[in-house]
Structure 1
Amino acid sequence: MIDCFVMFRQMRRSREVWKMVTVNYLEALKLQEKLASDRKALKIINTLLSLQHPPTYIVGKRETIHNLLIPDSELKSMEVELHYTQRGGDITFHGPHQAILYPIVSLRDIGLGARMYVEKLELTMVELTSMYGVKAQAGQKCETGVWVEGRKIGAIGVRISPGITSHGLAFNMDPDLNYFKHIVPCGISDKGVTSLKNETNVELPAEDVIQE
């Protein structure tokens, strides 16, 4: 439940940042929906949620469940949840040691269209990887996200309704990449998945520092 979360709010100009610990996916989804409604009604300013999830597979609004490569019955024994959402994108994995950012913002307020907004999210992850000596780049057409030589290090799946964003990005700091073997990540079968830990020779700081 929300009152069990360790949460810190920080004001930065015209936005509020909520730094949260590991949050159940459904609880985070409910929180996003509430905040998006409040943002639309001008009850809150632009808000960013920074958190992690327990192991969870998430299917986007196209419901591409065929890209889950194991039976639903195996998920319980793996202690992995499966959820369907209304965000864009294909199936993906969220879990420990990922930096997850959910911006609840008015695109009109920040002066961006949908495409430019997604590009800004990609640029955020490209710049983060460069800080640790890793060269990454945004994907080509139909390959939303951020890649290191054909290996995906950061995924994006957003919802914009109406003009208010929710969902966002997941950056692989050091997750258990074996979870990705049970799905076709983002529906792309011929490319792999990687993490910042795998790609850099630099010793990484604590995860909260990376998320910051």
Structure 2
Amino acid sequence: MGLCLVTMPLLKPVIEVVNLGRISYADGLQAQRTFIQRHLNALSQQPTAEPPVNAVLLCEHDPVYTIGIRTARYPIKEEERLKQLGAEFHRSDRGGLITFHGPGQLVCYPILNLAHFRKSVRWYVGELETTVIRLCHRFGIKAETSPDTGVWVQNDKICAIGIHCGRYITSHGLALNCNNDLSWFSHITPCGIEGKGVTSLSQALKREVTVPDAVDLLLETFAKQFDCMLRH
């Protein structure tokens, strides 16, 4: 009598969507740490009442300039100059150089254990870029990658990407310009790239595109790109 083998379909990873609203950069960092710690506790087999959760944190930030770990030192005089514009200034452990976050910009912080997907930081960054490119295409915008990290519309960056990954737990992520005030970028060299500019969904389309207008499309393209299920 022959054996009948039944193959069960592979379950897709489940990612919790957490909409934080408009918050300070410091509060955004703390929210990330909470989810990161749950992953780390599980990896260390520490008893915890809270199981690890793959999550996507969505937010807008109050005006803030941030620098990444590639910036060994940033002149105090420059830091003070930027603060005088009415923005905060933060040093972070993400990759990349200086950038700006502010209202009208959709910030997405995936807190993922890449062991549930693919243990490759290069792959992960590429998936984030492709997610945003596909979102832009849904809006009718031709976007692409370049040798410089991020997503570009010709020579203008529409989405900055800077991540941190420790023990294959990701943090930080992407910042998509929707209808934010781009003049904030004129006070810095965004991401340290000379001779290039910034743009937004609104500027590229010559019509108003708000963060709420972009959220659902971002989540849809993210779910398809990462082959996961989103839980709200």
TM-score norm. by structure 1 comes to 0.86
Aligned: 1:137 with 2:144: yes
Call closer, same or farther: CA 1:26–1:165 in 2, change over 3 Å. Answer: same
Deviates more, 1:33-42 or 1:163-172: 33-42
For the residue of structure 1 that corresponds to 2:127, the secondary structure is helix
Tell me what 1:92 maps to.
Answer: 99
Q: Which residue of 2 aligns with 1:198?
A: 203
Task: Please list every run of 5 or more consecutive structure 1 residues that lacks an aligned counterpart in the other structure.
Answer: 1-11
**CA 125–69 in structure 1, closer or farther in 2 if over 3 Å, else same:** farther
Q: 1:185 to 1:70 in 2, by over 3 A?
A: farther
Q: 1:130 to 1:70 in 2, by over 3 A?
A: farther
Q: Kindly, what percent of the aligned residue pairs are identical?
A: 38
Maintained 8 Å contact 1:172/1:194: yes
**AA at the equivalent of 2:111:** I
CA distance 1:148–1:99, change in 2 (3 Å) = same
What amino acid is the match of 1:108? A
Measured after TM superposition, the shift of residue 39 of structure 1 is: 1.6
- Equivalents in 1 of 2:73, 2:108: separation in Å? 24
Q: Distance in 2 between matches of 1:83 and 1:136?
A: 29
> How many pairs are equivalent?
197
Contact 1:69 1:184 in 2 (8 A): no
Residues in 2 aligned to 1:209 and 1:199: alpha-carbon distance in whole angstroms: 15
- What corresponds to 1:28 in structure 2? 28
* Separation in 1, partners of 2:165, 2:32: 12
**Which deviations, in whole Å up to 9, do the C-alpha atoms of 1:108-156 show, x marking residues without a partner?**
111241001000100111011111111000122xx00000011100000
Map 1:144-155; keep pairs closer than 5 Å. 144-155=149-160
Q: Indicate which of 176, 188, 208 corresponds to 2:212.
A: 208
Alignment match, 1:17: 17
Query: 153, 178, 181: which one pairs with 2:183?
Result: 178
d(CA) in 2 for partners of 1:85 and 1:29?
9
Q: Trace 1:31-110 onto structure 2 (pairs within 5 A).
A: 31-42=31-42, 43-63=51-71, 66=74, 71-110=78-117
Question: Where does structure 2 lack aligned partners over 5 or more consecutive residues?
Answer: 1-11, 43-50, 217-232
Give the distance between the partners of 1:108 and 1:126, measured in 2 at CA. 24
CA RMSD of aligned residues (A): 2.0
* 2:177/2:200 contact within 8 Å kept: yes
Deviates more, 1:37-46 or 1:131-140: 37-46
TM-score, length basis structure 2: 0.79
Select between 179-188 and 57-66 the one with higher mean Cα deviation: 57-66
**Shift, 1:78, TM fit:** 2.0
